[in-house]
Structure 1
Amino acid sequence: MVTVTTAPPAPVRRAVVVDDEEPLARLVAGYLERDGFTTTVCHDGARAVDVLREVDPDLVVLDLGLPGLDGVEVCRRLRTFSDCYVVMLTARAEEVDTVVGLSVGADDYVTKPFSPRELMARVAALMRRPRRAAPVAAAEPAGRVVRVGDLRVDVDAREVHLGDVGVPLTRTEFDVLVALAEHPGRVLSRRALIDLVWGPGWVGDEHLVDVHVLHVRQKLGDTADAQRYVRTVRGVGYRIGTGT
């Protein structure tokens, strides 16, 4: 008797491309489809919010400069119901655009004009990282938990608590915090954090790390004068710890 086993089908990956430049949107969608995504294209922000609710995507490529409801507001609304990965496209390289876009939960950004290969490399780096794990059954052993003072980071469940209060982090913010928490007392440079979170093949503006660290700090209640959990080592990088 011969038993034939077949591998389970690969999970469907859904992407939504939101850009009012229709040729560019179609180009990006084509690259995503060749990489195995089922892709939906939308050209205005107001419609995009409805589409994102309907599709429940794994990835959104979102233009910052949409007419009417811009990419920042679309991302802000998206984050009320989805933790999908968001790559923001911007035609302006000024730092304020980058900070504003990422402050509402974007995971990465690409400045126009860009190479589709560069965009797909960014997408690949994001998709290698896990989504929130399913809840662990009570009978199963607890996963990896890192504690720093009253900060508790459950690595496997992808949950963060300060005392008994949950801290809502985006997936990228969580991954940055875990990278620091799993190296207690060690100073990690921007490049080291990029290698741990985005992967060693990631290429872009390393100041992206600073933006995500800032958001983690804000959500943990840290300030420039009271860095309780994520501390800056000037000229070197960041480390986690409650000591001086």
Structure 2
Amino acid sequence: MEKETILVVDDEKEIRDLIGIYLANDDYRVLKAGNGIEALNSLEKENVDLIILDIMMPNMDGMEACMQIRKDKNMPIIMLSAKSEDIDKIMGLTTGADDYVTKPFNPLELIARVKSQLRRYKRLNSSAALEKNEAVIEVDDLLINIDTHEVKKGSREIKLTPREFDILLLLARNKGIVFSIEKIYEMVWKEEFFQSDNTVMVHIRKIREKVEDNPRKPRFIKTVWGVGYKIEN
């Protein structure tokens, strides 16, 4: 069986080597690059199954590299960054990354995330999914099809309004990140938020009524009191 290939992109050689050792111990084939330009060059020559991509690098940083990669490739990308603020995570994920790990990190946790992303990628890119050309996000038994704007829970189709779909998609694309009511409104409605506006809360309530078994004890959309809403990893 051919080994899966992981490209590790970081301007610090010590970090590249450390990650490489742990990946090799799990029987992955490891490629290394010191910046975004080197990473893009590697991708032209090699078939890569997953990329671990640092954000802060010279010549071409991780954000720019991620956007370039996403123009024609869809393998999983895990971003590394010394920044831990939610806004930095959001920026990383919205450029096309699948996961975000903050430095300093536990190498074993990083390897676990690599395995998780590869499993998910294989599942979503099975022959059936490729034939349908679907872009699907999974949250437990909830399936969100980005291309067709369909939401299914098990075999049951759930009818959402366009706004409800956009809110659910925003949270599902950024699992684990808490979005304030203001941020949700500005990103979905593309308008300035007014403090007295309860539009977002009304939409969240309606989404929960449609997707949750018990809206009073939500399994998908969690409330972080005093902060906002999130979907768990």
TM-score norm. by structure 2 comes to 0.62
Map 1:105-144; keep pairs closer than 5 Å: 105-129=96-120, 130-134=123-127
SS in structure 2 of the partner of residue 179 of structure 1 = strand
The structure 2 residue matched to 1:157, chosen from 119, 131, 135, is 131
Alpha-carbon distance in structure 1 between the residues aligned to 2:159 and 2:114 = 29
| Alpha-carbon offset, residue 58 of structure 1 | 0.6
How well do the aligned residues superpose, as a CA RMSD in angstroms?
3.7
- Give a deviation string over 1:168-200, Cα, whole Å, max 9, x none: x4xxx544596242214499xxxxx9xxx9xxx
The structure 1 residue matched to 2:176, chosen from 189, 200, 206, is 206
Moved over 4 A (4+): 222-225, 234-240
Amino acid at match of 1:233: I
Partners of 2:8 and 2:19 within 8 A in 1 = yes
| Alpha-carbon offset, residue 236 of structure 1 | 8.0
SS in structure 1 of the partner of residue 29 of structure 2 = strand
Q: 2:31: which partner in 1? A: 40
The structure 2 residue matched to 1:68, chosen from 32, 44, 59, is 59
Q: 2:83: which partner in 1? A: 92
Alpha-carbon distance in structure 1 between the residues aligned to 2:208 and 2:81 = 27
Alpha-carbon distance in structure 1 between the residues aligned to 2:105 and 2:208 = 29
Q: 1:83: which partner in 2? A: 74
- Give a deviation string over 1:100-123, Cα, whole Å, max 9, x none: 111111000000001001111111
Give the direction of change, closer, same or farther, for the CA distance of 1:232–1:90 in structure 2 (3 Å limit).
farther
The structure 2 residue matched to 1:179, chosen from 124, 130, 143, is 143
Q: 1:54: which partner in 2? A: 45
Alpha-carbon distance in structure 1 between the residues aligned to 2:80 and 2:26 = 19
Give the direction of change, closer, same or farther, for the CA distance of 1:89–1:223 in structure 2 (3 Å limit).
same
Alpha-carbon distance in structure 2 between the residues aligned to 1:97 and 1:158 = 33
| Alpha-carbon offset, residue 13 of structure 1 | 0.6
Residue correspondences, number:
173
Alpha-carbon distance in structure 2 between the residues aligned to 1:94 and 1:84 = 25
**Structure with the higher helix share, 1 or 2:** 2
Give the direction of change, closer, same or farther, for the CA distance of 1:131–1:26 in structure 2 (3 Å limit).
farther
- Give a deviation string over 1:30-57, Cα, whole Å, max 9, x none: 1111112111011122111111222221
- Give a deviation string over 1:34-90, Cα, whole Å, max 9, x none: 112111011122111111222221110000111121000101111112111100001
TM-score norm. by structure 1 comes to 0.59
Alpha-carbon distance in structure 2 between the residues aligned to 1:52 and 1:158 = 26
Amino acid at match of 1:157: E
Q: 2:214: which partner in 1? A: none
- Structure 1 spans left out of the alignment, 5+ residues: 1-8, 137-154, 161-168, 188-192, 198-204, 226-230
Q: Percent identity?
A: 29
